[in-house]
Structure formats: C-alpha cells, structure tokens
Structure 1
Amino acid sequence: MFLRIRTDRISLFRFLLEGYDGLAVLSTIDVQEGLVRLIVPKGRHAELWTLLAAISGELAPANSDETGLTQAAQAAEFVHANE
C-alpha cells in the first residue's frame, strides 16, 4: 500500500506504527513528496485503517483535497493499493 503524507510526519508515523507490533512496515519512497509504502500482513488491514482514521488529521498533506474516498484514505491521500 502506498500513501502520501506530510513530509514532516514520516518519522512520527513510523514511530506510531512501531507501537503496534507487526501492524505494518513503513518504507519511505520519496521523502520530498511524502510518499511511503506500507507492507501490511494479511488480517491486519482493518486495524491499520482504524489507526489511519484516528491519526488522519496529523498525516494529511497540506494540498490534499476531498475526493470522496473513505475518511482514512482522504486524510492520508491514498495513492495506490498493492496486495
């Protein structure tokens, strides 16, 4: 799964994910664009979306717009899902 988040929140997001043991592994793809990749184990996607919805205000890029996606996807500017 790929997400675009605020560039100044990448480290915070990584730290939060580490607190949810095994929820996801974050890799930074493009730090200037805030593009990150999450590898999520099967069966933990719902938990990840719950977390994203809870912290979406902290992650949302300043230039994000309302696209009709789910609350978590809107805030994190969902770019691409790859499963």
Structure 2
Amino acid sequence: MSGGLTDLLKTGFSMFMKVSRPRPGDNPLLFLFLVGGVTPSELRLIKDTVSSLKPGTQVLVLSTRLLRPTDIPELLFSTQRLHPDISF
C-alpha cells in the first residue's frame, strides 16, 4: 500500500518499466545434493560445467557417499542388492 504521492508515482511508473523479479538462477551459490554417491571425476565435471555456464557461481555439492571407481561395479553387480534384508 502506498504511503504518499512519491510512493504512488514509483508504483505507477514501475508498471510501465520492465523490471524483472529475481530468479533462483540469479543466486551466486548453487546447492546440489546427490543421492547414492558421487565420484571425484563427476565433481570435477560439475564444477567445470557450472563455471563455463555461469562464471562467478559457487557450487556446494553434497552427497551420501564419495565413491571410488572400484565401488561402482560392486554396487551394480552385488548379490546383496538382489536379496535385500527386510527384517525389522
């Protein structure tokens, strides 16, 4: 609600000017949470991609686990994944 004549004029002129509202992509900090784990090469890929697309943006990557390249075949072909433990 306007408080006076100057506020009323500011409000009226802003309707004609193309003022864009801030968007989430305008923030200089990006939080990225990855479920299941991430490898160091994927972290480097994320950092390089974000810095090339939006220079000056910082990326904070959170993950449930830091994976080694040897962990990936074990997680894919483990027999424990075929027979999960559903005991309470």
Q: Verify same fold: TM over 0.5.
A: no
TM superposition score normalised by structure 1 = 0.28
1 or 2 for the larger relative contact order (CA 8 Å, sep ≥6)? Answer: 1
- Structure having the higher strand fraction is 1
